[in-house]
Amino acid sequence: MRTDGDFDTAFHWIGGIDDKYAFDLSALLRSVVIWNLNLAQQELVRLGGGSLAGTYRICYFGDHKELLGSQHRIVPFSGCSSEFEVVDLYVIQ
């Protein structure tokens, strides 16, 4: 399992895109998750082999603060991509 703290992953948050007057308080927020397969495969080779080939999904687990109401509770949320296939990569060293 990879996390957003791994060297081969990146997470970019884009807020308030559905309404230019929402001041980043929009209900519709987007993010971009990047998994650099070349870097991940290089690390596997460095550690003695292995393959990234397989079926994957990218999931995000986070929390948000409710803005409406008097309690401003912290509420968890999550989202996952559809499954995708990774085939063998050839790393040139």
39-93: pLDDT as tens digits: 888 888 788 877 888 899 888 888 887 777 667 788 898 888 899 998 876 555 5
Instruction: Provide the pLDDT for residue 83.
Output: 93
* Distance, C-alpha 28 to centroid of its chain: 17
1-47: pLDDT as tens digits: 777 778 888 888 776 555 555 555 566 667 788 888 888 888 887 88
Nearest to 42 by CA among 50, 54, 53: 50
| Domain assignments of the chain as residue spans, ordered by start | 9-86
Instruction: Kindly report the number of other CB atoms within 10 A of residue 41's CB atom.
Output: 20
How far apart, in whole angstroms, are the C-alpha atoms of residue 46 and residue 56? Answer: 22
